Homo-oligomer: A and B are copies of this chain.
Amino acid sequence: MAQKKKYLSKNQKIVLDIIEKSAQPMKAYSILFNVQKKGLKAPPQVYRALDKLVEIGKIHKIESRNAFIACRNSACTITNATAFSICESCEDVKEISSSKLSKYLSNFQDKEGMKFNKYNLEFFGLCKKCK
């Protein structure tokens, strides 16, 4: 289980802040560009903050896009069971919070009866606007 942290460090706050202000996932170097005025000059500073924020569930990585999105889900308790919808036209990304879906996937067993403590699911299609 990922640690619950009460306080974020300075760099972590700066990075989280910019991601939360964005409606859409942000790429690491776009974040870097945006936080340079705040003194974060080099990639490792951003990547370290990103790593920590992912670890504690404040943000999620959209693997197919190499981008990071703020978690708006149930006070960010979900770090190990993530699902997203991604519009293949406008790249709009939404986090899906469906207890039915998460129950189904958390209980899923493979052919050998194995269960998994973690998953990431990315749905693709066209959003309302683009359809």
Contacts and interface: CB of A to CB of B under 8 A. Distances in A.
The secondary structure that dominates the A interface is loop
Nearest to A126: B117
A88 B116 CA distance: 10
Given A101-B108, A108-B101, A110-B98, A116 B64 contact: no
Interface string A80-95: 1000010010000010
Contacts of A110: 85, 94, 96, 98, 123
Interface in A72-121: 80, 85, 88, 94, 96, 98, 101, 104-105, 108, 110-112, 114-121
B118 A120 contact: no
A33 interface: no
Interface residues of A, number: 29
Copies of this chain, count:
2
A110 B121 CA distance: 13
Contacts of A105: 121, 123
A124 interface: yes
A63 B63 CA distance: 6
Nearest to A123: B116
Interface of A: 63-64, 80, 85, 88, 94, 96, 98, 101, 104-105, 108, 110-112, 114-125, 127-128
